[in-house]
């Protein structure tokens, strides 16, 4: 019964959190020189995306994430499933918005927030 209770609490915590339908582009940078170059490239990609270039096509072409084959579609995620740096950016975005490049350790992320669902009220 304890395992059922633990699972139930986990599901309730997930339901009570806001959820985000997100696509990503991930670019790797192994050296400092690469980081500077990839930072410039990622900003150029963001500029192109904001001018109407198809996100999924760019993700397929440039992203090194396993999601690249799906056009960068990460699917529905909660904040606890994400790196805190990505989560803090997502919470400030509006649906349809493309993030600025987000620097991580030896990598840069570009996010597209497709839609978001607010947290559900706590269940009794």
- 19 vs 17: CA distance, rounded Å: 6
Instruction: List Cβ neighbours of 96 (8 Å cut-off, separation of 6 or more).
Output: 112, 113, 114
Q: What is the pLDDT of residue 7?
A: 66
Specify the higher pLDDT residue, 11 or 21.
21
CATH number, domain with residue 37: 3.10.50.40
93 vs 12, higher pLDDT = 93
SS3 content of the chain, % helix, strand, coil (to 5): 45, 25, 30
Tell me the C-alpha distance between 23 and 67, whole Å: 8
Number of domains in the chain: 1
In a domain, 96, yes or no: yes
Calculate mean pLDDT across residues 64-85.
96
Q: What are 80-118's pLDDT values in tens digits?
A: 999 999 999 999 999 999 999 999 889 999 999 999 998
Asked, for residue 11, whether it belongs to a domain, the answer is: no
Q: Whole-angstrom Cα distance, residue 21 to residue 5?
A: 28
Cβ-contact 25, 101 below 8 angstroms:
no
Report helix, strand or coil for 102: strand
- Domain around 35: 18-117
Considering the chain, what percentage of its residues have pLDDT values greater than 70? 84
Residue 43 resides in a domain: yes
What does the alpha-carbon distance between residue 41 and residue 114 come to, in Å, rounded to a whole number?
23
pTM reported for the whole predicted model: 0.83
């Amino acid at each position: 019964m304890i395992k059922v209770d633990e699972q139930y609490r986990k599901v309730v915590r997930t339901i009570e959190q806001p959820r985000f339908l997100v696509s990503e582009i991930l670019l790797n940078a192994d050296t400092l020189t690469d980081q500077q170059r990839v930072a410039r490239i990622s900003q150029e990609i963001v500029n192109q995306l904001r001018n109407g270039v198809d996100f999924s096509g760019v993700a397929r072409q440039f992203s090194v994430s396993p999601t690249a084959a799906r056009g960068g579609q990460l699917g529905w995620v909660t904040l606890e499933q994400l790196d805190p740096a990505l989560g803090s950016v997502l919470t400030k975005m509006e649906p349809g918005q493309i993030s600025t490049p987000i620097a991580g350790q030896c990598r840069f992320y570009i996010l597209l927030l497709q839609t978001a669902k607010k947290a559900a009220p706590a269940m009794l």
